Amino acid sequence: MAAKQPPPLMKKHSQTDLVSRLKTRKILGVGGEDDDGEVHRSKISQVLGNEIKFTIREPLGLRVWQFVSAVLFSGIAIMALAFPDQLYDAVFD
């Protein structure tokens, strides 16, 4: 008795159908406008948020403070690695 061979698997081409793609995008919540009027390009952009909100320029003083504090922190860290005894004496004496 010969086993009956199943028919070959046919690949569904639903992604090439524009209506099917639109339905898929609606189910995923991609490509449509949300309550704020923002159009999401992907699910990741929905999770992470819109990057336009982060293009606000910070005040110059904030940037200067961040740079100065980063330089001071790096300098103290290098001093702690290179000259730990002198840093200890400077802090605790």
The predicted pLDDT at position 77 comes to: 95
> Which tens digit of pLDDT belongs to each residue from 29-66?
666 666 666 665 666 665 666 566 566 777 889 999 99
| DSSP per-residue letters across 38-61 | PBPSSHHHHHH--GGGG-PPPPHH
The predicted pLDDT at position 62 comes to: 92
The predicted pLDDT at position 45 comes to: 61
Is pTM beyond 0.85 here? no
How far apart are the C-alpha atoms of 26 and 1, rounded to whole Å? 50
The predicted pLDDT at position 70 comes to: 97
79 touches 86 (CB < 8 A):
yes
The predicted pLDDT at position 37 comes to: 64
How far apart are the C-alpha atoms of 43 and 50, rounded to whole Å? 11
Task: Tell me what the pLDDT averaged over the chain comes to.
Answer: 75
The predicted pLDDT at position 71 comes to: 98
In the predicted model, what is the mean pLDDT of residues 67-90?
A: 94
